[in-house]
Amino acid sequence: QQQVKQSPQSLIVQKGGISIINCAYENTAFDYFPWYQQFPGKGPALLIAIRPDVSEKKEGRFTISFNKSAKQFSLHIMDSQPGDSATYFCAASKATGNTGKLIFGQGTTLQVKP
């Protein structure tokens, strides 16, 4: 019940295209859903996050779509650029009334071709 399942494992997109990464969770107590971006040799960095009281959040070219009834959320990267090539992790946590420890998906390696 603590798992977060992420797909696809890898993704290749042409420059200018849309990258879509999906995650599903089981624990309905989760109330915080961040996406992290990780470049080789670096630690993960927060990209964008959402709480379950909204269905969508957009920051620049990055959008999270959240479906509470399906227990799924996804990251959309519009106008994908070669600089977006990285590994992306979704995560979930019980941010309130708990330790806030993050449960991570397995990661998606994105390659954006010029």
Give whichever of 10 and 14 is closer to other proteins, judged by the CB atom: 10
3-class state of residue 83 by DSSP: helix
Query: Which residues within the stretch 5-64 sit at the binding site for other proteins (CB under 8 A)?
Result: 6, 32, 34, 36, 41-46, 49
CB 77 to other proteins: min, Å: 19
Among 66, 80, 89, 110, binds other proteins (CB under 8 A): 89
Q: Is 80 in the site for other proteins (CB under 8 A)?
A: no
Number of residues that bind other proteins (CB under 8 A): 24
Q: What is the DSSP string of 11-22?
A: EEEETTS-EEEE
